[in-house]
A and B are shown apart, each in its own frame.
Chain A
Amino acid sequence: MPQSSAIELDPQLVLWEERLPGGAHWSGVLRRGVTLRVTDLQGGANVSMLFYNHEDRLERYNMADTLKGQHTAFLSAGKVCYSDMGRVLCSVTRDSCGWHDTIGGLSNARMVKRKYGEARYQQHRNDYHRNGYDSLVNELGKYGLGRRDLVANLNLFSKVTVDDNGALQFHPGNSGAGDCVDLRFEMPALVVLSTCQHPLDPEPRYNPRDVSLTAWRSGVASADDPCRNACPENQRAFVNTERLYV
């Protein structure tokens, strides 16, 4: 497994850093030209995530446009996340684990209770069981958004493949301790996320893992940027994006 120690950051560029426990939910705004590094601290993390244009939150991550524009069923370094408006929300500029899911969706309350049993706040205080769906609804509510806005999401660090008959398979161990992914924001974005387990994670225990977030000033995509030039579709999506900022 590649280690993130090979991808060192210049401390001068770091804007802030934060550790999130497993099962947490979080939201924040990442500005254009800022890169968010998400690091799996213990191995086996999952980060369910969505992006919205901070200046017009009707514009949001679109799974289908992202997949068909790049002829792919997953995300990895060199690929980008498209909005529903033909623009790039963010680019995956670095990635040490090679596969991030965007077709598996979110865990929900019924599933978490069925898989891990019940653990309510009244008995378990802050160790109560969270789930991905309620966690994202929770964060979206802080911005006047809700269930209508909860579209198909990313699951960083998780790998789900499809066989020749269409059957889905979850691959445990896709991400190890220290694996990380860098998301460079091409427009100011509202980011909402949950560190709950992937809905297809076969582990029988409720065991969401910790991650860290590191925001650093990276600048925007250059003319020879590998994500921009990965395919003609991405080049056109960058043209559409940059028209917002001229």
Chain B
Amino acid sequence: MSSGLVESVLDPAGAAFRQVVPAGEPFMQEIRKGQVLRILDLEGNQAVDTLFYSAADPEERYDANNTIREQGNIYLTAGTVLLSNEGNPMLTIIADTCGRHDTLGGACSAESNTVRYALDKRHMHSCRDSFLLALAEWDNGMSKRDLSSNINFFMNVPVTPDGKLTFEDGISEAGRYVEMRAEMDVLVLGRHLLLKSEQPARGAHDREGALALD
């Protein structure tokens, strides 16, 4: 994929919708075909764990493996077509001033935190807990069955040629954004993660990310 940054031609002042997503809270919204979703990093070094579903048939959903394989590259950036499990284009990334987004690192959960950090870290706030609450509130029959591999916008998870996977400091900073055009009516389920807060040694700050819809 091209690592060149691509700026948006759209004016956010004309957005149909704008919402600041507080840290640790989920966001679920329908975006219609042709609309553009911008995710803006308000404070730098953010991550936005995101899943997409076809609004017409949520069994069709974002597929990380199809997306990276068909573009031949594990990093998402401008030009990436986000593909569904049925191989259909769901959204196209049309602008990106960060340059690289992850889709292999997944979302944290209470249970995975016990494995990654310590058995007593089950009680930290987690992305998948937030997703489950958001799905319960949306109330269209979706459940943990529907939590498939997600995108981590702004997150930097490099893989080395010998197959090591690492979590590196983010390459985003305040004011950077990624913008994508919906190629079908989609449900977006997002959750803003404090990049360092899941690591117990670091303090959590009340930083905020934002989602805007042009």
| A interface residues with partner B (beta carbon < 8 Å) | 58, 62-65, 67-69, 71-74, 82, 84-87, 99, 103-106, 108, 110-111, 133, 146-153, 161-168, 199-200, 233, 236-237, 239-240
Contacts and interface: CB of A to CB of B under 8 A. Distances in A.
A100 B166 CA distance: 19
A103 B65 contact: yes
A73 B115 contact: no
B104 A69 contact: no
A73 B85 contact: no
A150 B85 contact: yes
Interface residues of B, number: 50
Given A162-B161, A164-B161, A69 B116 contact: yes
Nearest to B74: A166
Contacts of A153: 65
Contact of B112 (A71, A86, A103, A133): A86
Contact of B167 (A68, A162, A237): A68
B116 A68 contact: yes
A76 to B, nearest CB: 9
Given A86-B109, A167-B73, 5 more contacts: A64-B104, A84-B111, A99-B163, A103-B69, A165-B73
Interface in B1-51: 1, 3
A72 B163 contact: yes
Contacts of B119: 236, 239-240
Contacts of A162: 74, 159-161, 163
Contacts, number: 137
Contacts of A65: 106, 109, 112, 115
B74 A103 contact: yes
Interface stretch (B143-151, B168-176, B186-194): B143-151
B115 A233 contact: yes
A236 B114 contact: yes
A165 B3 contact: yes
A63 B115 contact: no
B114 A86 contact: yes
Q: Which 9 pairs of residues, A with B, have the shortest CB-CB distance?
A: A64-B106, A105-B65, A86-B111, A166-B75, A162-B159, A73-B159, A166-B73, A148-B145, A73-B165
Contacts of B213: none
Contact of B74 (A108, A110, A168, A200): A168
